Amino acid sequence: MSGNSFPELSLIDEHGQSFTYKMQGPGDFRRPNAPISSRKVYAAAHVIPHMGADNTPGSLAVVDWDATLAYRHELWSYGLGVADAMDTAQRGMGLDYAATCELINRSAQEAATVISENRYPALTGLTVRDIVACGVGTDQLTASAVESGQLQLVIDAYLEMLHLVEDSGAKSILMCSRALAKAARTPEDYVQVYGTLLEAAKEPVILHWLGEMFDPQLAGYWGTSDIAEATSVFQSILKKYSEKIDGVKVSLLNAEHEKQLRAALPSGVRLYTGDDFNYPELIDGDGELHSDALLGIFAAIYPAASTALQAFDAADSTRGRTILDSTRELGLHIFSAPTFYYKTGIAFLSWLNGHQSGFQMVGGLQAGRSVPHLIRTFVLADSAGLLLNPELAAERMKQLLAVCGVQASTQTLTGVS
């Protein structure tokens, strides 16, 4: 298709002003023929609900397992691992405990099948732990049900899910816990809880430090609101249990803090960036150290991310960085405040690219962003070459605008006949 034949749409900006936008078409992205080797990466994938289910706030999740697992196949085919059942748009925001457990088991079983059948060249020689890592949390407990000092209650909930993930064959990610934030009284309480969990873990885990911009209920995690003091508590755990830690995922959207923490990590412990604002520079590195990645934005930009990582593998860091930089503005927009609604943008792009039949999310979270925000997401994704079927994306964008009244196809009734 020639460039001048891509669709043209009438859109509105954040001020409600109309403008004409001509799509640019997909980028030159390719699946790898061998595993990605220079960086270890996971994309935090979303779940896709049955479109006819009661996908409203407070309802139990009804997952379209075929579509949900197909999305994970798409990520795997591009050489990316999947970080499952862990982000704030699932855990505590729509995905209930039973559905979380089922997602973990289904994803791990699917990964095992993919590995045994050698389904994708990008996964040759890898293990289930290499391609799927799952969040270990305390979903059984609500913060309101926990009192200060009830550490054992939190530990028991963590251990139940730790055993579930380890038995599935996936890598474990020890997530921050709202219940622990409620129960812990001092930094020492956090050290006690995490020490117990790490001693119980059979395989090295990823420790997850999630900032309050992603979940306000995690304010003061590690027993203090001072970032330097919190880092000291975190590092004390890393130093004592380094042999039980595969890596750390840091989601504070603070590149300088991540660089300092990365330089101080014990030998053999990876830094998986969770910075969806500054990932290009952190993954590129400073010439001596670089971050690996466990990112929500990678679920949206996976063709570009994979192609960039292939360039890093080929020692072409300039091209790799250029590709990642081309997606930065999209990442900044999708993760703009309120950041905990970022997954709406991920699901929106999934719908535009044909991976799900409707623009819905469990818990009704598709309502987390405004129409102008979604329009901007559409434009930035197209500018980055990430709308892989322009005709489909344009048609679905037009459908959304019509339903939302931005492009009214019928006369509005203003009175009673």
Alpha helices (runs of H) in 314-342, residue ranges in sequence order: 317-325, 328-334
How many other β-carbons are positioned within 10 Å of the β-carbon of residue 33? 11
The secondary structure of 12-46 as a DSSP string is: E-TTS-EEEEE----------SS---S--EEEEPP
Query: What is the residue-level pLDDT of the chain in tens, covering all 417 positions?
Result: 445 699 999 999 999 899 999 999 999 999 999 999 999 999 999 999 999 999 998 899 999 999 999 999 999 999 999 999 976 445 677 889 999 999 999 999 999 999 999 999 999 999 999 999 999 999 998 888 899 999 999 999 999 999 999 999 999 999 999 999 999 999 999 999 999 999 999 999 999 998 888 888 899 999 999 999 999 999 999 999 999 999 999 889 999 999 999 999 999 999 999 999 999 999 999 999 999 999 999 999 999 999 999 999 999 999 999 999 999 999 999 999 998 899 999 999 999 999 999 999 999 999 999 999 999 999 999 999 999 999 999 999 999 999 999 875 445 455 544
Do residues 256 and 214 make contact, with C-beta atoms less than 8 angstroms apart? no
Please enumerate in sequence order all residues whose Cβ is within 8 A of that of 314, keeping only pairs 6 or more positions apart, or say none: none
Do residues 82 and 45 make contact, with C-beta atoms less than 8 angstroms apart? yes
Phi, psi of 224 (to 5 degrees): -160, 150
Token representation of residue 201: 């873990």
Do residues 211 and 227 make contact, with C-beta atoms less than 8 angstroms apart? no
